[in-house]
Amino acid sequence: MVFSSLIFLFVFLVSNLIIYLLIDKKYKNKVLLIFSLIFYAWGGPKYLILLVGETFASWFFALKIQHSKNKRSRKLYMLGECIVLLGLLGYFKYAVFFMENFQALFGVPDVIPNIVLPIGISFYTFQLLSYVVDVYRREIHAQPVFWKLLLYSSLFHQCIAGPIVRYETVADEIDNRTVNQTDIYMGVRRFCIGLAKKSILANSCAEIADSLILPGSDALASQSTLGLWLGMFAYMLQIYLDFSAYSDMAIGMGRMVGFHYLENFNYPYIAKSVQDFWRRWHISLSTFFRDYVYIPLGGSRCSKEKIIRNMAVVWFLTGMWHGASWNYIFWGIYYLIFLLLERFVIGDKIPGPLKHVYTLLVVFFGWVIFKFESLGELGHVLIGLFGIGTSGFTGMDVGTMFLSNIFLLLFASVACTPLGKTIRQILIRYGTRNPVSFMVFNITEMIVPPILLILSVLALIGNSYNPFLYFQF
């Protein structure tokens, strides 16, 4: 099930919230668990076995690690956990990719099996891994009750699209959490903002990107240079608005019931350097790699050669995590190069305002690499953006597309900046002295969430508008 669907909103979430609200406190976690399992099973009950199985393994290994006296057996159990979880992730996510490359090089195997990627496996695998590693490092206590760990790994707020919530963030809140009025309001608001970002802005940007950037090299060649730029610009907006919207909705729904997940995005497109961008983008993934890969390898407190090695490992893995295809690996290496350049060559030499331009350009071309799994198409677009091999500089369809979405694109761009947040802060700051500003603040506080909800519902229904015009009436 996806958050941005009517059935999720009006059937799943409504019944979840009503039952959660009415039921006795001691059953609240069980309600969440049952709903989470249904939510996950929606994408195919067979994958539930995988989620439950991985959770069971992690539960078992974590308890074993905690109860082991000697170092060796702790290590062995930790190794067991890694083998099981990374093995399953490797099988489901990367086996086909490795076999394809192997086949291309050596001609075997003849037949590559069709392995379907289970929903959310990259997210919950990392969550469970971080849990067991933290137990191993004695940073947290292992969860003795299996179903509570299952609640952590399967919780529908974050199970399939992040953020990657650390067990320590929610460990206490699983058993003791309180919800006050502010939590509920903030949760509702955050959820509505996320829903609107996804169903209104991201979906519309996706429509623009999809109609300008068509699959297939022939189709790409018939696009104009400006068409490619506009399409990729819309894609750049889409990917942030879409991804951060899921995090917003997760944080919002968590807050409504008393969970405080950490922020996953911090306005990445206002970053002043590539390094700054990665501190603001998908924070839960970056910190995962920082804490479980980079620092254990020695981090930055070692020789230059080792720093480069450590960063290379992290960025290779970051690329790989995003998908089993070469372009994601290139994408990781691409960022590695810029991060190394910033660290060892560029330093702070770029003048003020140009920093933003430089960062956005690097990120923009990063998304080009990210978007195309077919290297032929990727090449086409990369040179096409410089005017080579396109149908011309611009075309009428590009003009129409731009004009008929100009306000949407502007709004979506503003939604990537903290402008809304700033205005809200200004209103309340003046509001304490100025009654007009205070009323404006209150009224916007009141109407923004429901208006966003209603507009999102309209957009979701509008999405199903498909004038499949039968020529027979």
Partner 1 sequence: MKSQKVTKKQKRLIYMFRAISVRIFAAVMVIGGFLGLLFFVRPDTSEVEKRTLTEFPKPTLSSLWNGEFFSDLSLWYSDTYPMRDQLIAADQKVESVYGIKTSTMMVGNQKQSDDIPDADAKKADSKDAKEVEEISAPDSRAMESEIQNQIQDSLYVKDGAAYTIYYYNQNAADIYTSALSKAAKELEGETDVYSILVPNNSGAMLTEQELEDLGGADQKQAIDYYYSLSDGCKTIDTIDTLREHNDEYLYFRSDHHWTQLAAYYVYENFCKEKGLEPNKLSDFEKMTFSPFLGTFYQKLQNADMAANPDSVDAYIPMATNDMTYTDTDGSQVDWHVIEDVSTWNENSGYSCFIGGDKPLAVIENPDLDDGSSCVVVKESYGNCFVPFLVDHYQTVYVIDFRYTQNNVMDFVKEHKVQDLIIMNNISIIASEDVATTIAGLLE
Within residues 151-190, the interface with partner 1 by CB under 8 A covers: 181-182, 184-185, 188-189
Distance in Å, CB of 222 to partner 1, minimum: 4
> What is the spatial distance between Cα 147 and Cα 132, in angstroms, rounded to a whole number?
16
Name the phi and psi angles at 22, rounded to 5: -85, -25
Among 223, 225, 244, 287, binds partner 1 (CB under 8 A): 223
275 or 463: CB nearest partner 1: 463
395 contributes a contact to partner 1 by CB under 8 A: yes
Yes or no: say if 162 and 246 are a contact pair by the CB < 8 Å rule: yes
1 contributes a contact to partner 1 by CB under 8 A: yes
Among 68, 169, 222, 413, binds partner 1 (CB under 8 A): 222
| Those residues with Cβ within 8 angstroms of residue 84's Cβ, 6 or more apart along the chain or in another chain | 54, 57, 61
Catalytic machinery residues: 322
Among 214, 308, 312, 350, binds partner 1 (CB under 8 A): 214
Dihedral over alpha carbons 260, 287, 168, 264 (to 10 degrees): 10
Distance in Å, CB of 333 to partner 1, minimum: 33
Return the H-helix or E-strand segment holding 247. helix 225-256
Within residues 374-393, the interface with partner 1 by CB under 8 A covers: 391
302 or 406: CB nearest partner 1: 406
Q: Which x/- pattern over 249-288 shows residues binding partner 1 (rule: CB under 8 A)?
A: ----------------------------------------
3 or 277: CB nearest partner 1: 3
DSSP state of 268: G
Among 5, 169, 374, 437, binds partner 1 (CB under 8 A): 5
Is 69 strand, coil or helix? coil
107: exposed, middle or buried (Cβ count in 10 Å: 0-12, 13-18, 19+): exposed
Q: At what angle do helices 435-463 and 419-431 cross, to 10 degrees?
A: 150
**In 3D, which of 51, 26, 253 has the Cα closest to residue 154?**
51
Q: Binders of partner 1: how many residues, by CB under 8 A?
A: 82
Tokens for 375, please give them. 């290297």
41 or 239: CB nearest partner 1: 41
Distance in Å, CB of 214 to partner 1, minimum: 6
> What is the spatial distance between Cα 312 and Cα 353, in angstroms, rounded to a whole number?
29
Q: Which x/- pattern over 319-358 shows residues binding partner 1 (rule: CB under 8 A)?
A: ----------------------------------------
> What is the spatial distance between Cα 67 and Cα 429, in angstroms, rounded to a whole number?
53
Among 23, 221, 375, 388, binds partner 1 (CB under 8 A): 221
> What is the spatial distance between Cα 386 and Cα 392, in angstroms, rounded to a whole number?
11
Contact stretch for partner 1 (CB under 8 A) within 143-151, 160-168, 299-307, 397-405: 397-405
DSSP state of 325: S
117 contributes a contact to partner 1 by CB under 8 A: no
> What is the spatial distance between Cα 355 and Cα 342, in angstroms, rounded to a whole number?
11
242 or 342: CB nearest partner 1: 242
> What is the spatial distance between Cα 118 and Cα 364, in angstroms, rounded to a whole number?
29
Contact stretch for partner 1 (CB under 8 A) within 305-313, 322-330, 335-343, 422-430: 422-430
For residue 409, give Cα distances in angstroms to 213, 358, 389, 404, 461: 16, 21, 27, 10, 21
Contact stretch for partner 1 (CB under 8 A) within 59-67, 297-305, 360-368, 407-415: 407-415
Within residues 34-73, the interface with partner 1 by CB under 8 A covers: 41-47
23 contributes a contact to partner 1 by CB under 8 A: no
